[in-house]
Amino acid sequence: MIAPTAMHKLAHPEGEVATARAAAACNTIMILSYMSTCTVEEVAASCKAIRFFQVYVYQRRDITANLVQRAERCGYKAIVLTVDTPRLGRREADIKNKMVAPQLKNFKGLISTKVSSDDGSNLEAFANNTFDASLSWKDIGWLRSITNLPLLIKGVLTCEDAIKAVEVGVDGIVVSNHGARQLDYSPATISVLEEVVHAVKGKVPVFFDGGIRRGTDVFKALALGAQAVLIGRPAVYGLAAKGEYGVKWVIETLKDELELTMALSGCPTVKDISRNHVRTKHEALHSML
């Protein structure tokens, strides 16, 4: 799947529309970012890709409700709530460069995204002025009340949060550390994936993102129990290099590498990939004792 990444027009003039067309051509799912530079309607009209919509909960709940309901009307198939961003992480490069975010068209007529910041990134100022830092488990119920779509939560890194997510009724979990851009020293997602998979006991699907760069990375995540993986930066790199074609090339390359890894590992189908195909650092240490 294509992970929700913001502001694709910074990478290519066609932005998220080009990414969505590439996802459709490769028969994969695109998760459109709340902070996209194309509207939910523009992306929906561009192709027949299966689309999910990623959201943050804003202090003004009417803004979140507006976007969720627009996505549902446009045929998006699920809502993905990012739960690891009560405030934006310290993006030192953005502050140093005094980053100014482009127009975020989803918010037109709802809220101004032109927030001034004399000492840093206006994106950080915008996020910290609008995101609801009091987000809690009770807000899952509120989101349920405004949409009939399945609800996934993204940003889970512990078995405790995974168990709680199942208890409050989410439909899926994305193991993610937000590209390691939120909390410094948060664990690598591959190191906690199996913990989360064991915690949910098959009650909901577990998806994975973070560090997927080769087909072998996809293979490892599947072996540790993920039902699918998300790619963020690689898709944006492809978009920046060659637009829609570049994103397709990235997806097809990962697919080809995964198929080769499966063949060399004796796995005719994805279902044949098992825990026996990987060994963690912890297991390697024990094998030497």
Active site residues: 178
Facing residues of 153 across strands?
A: 81, 173
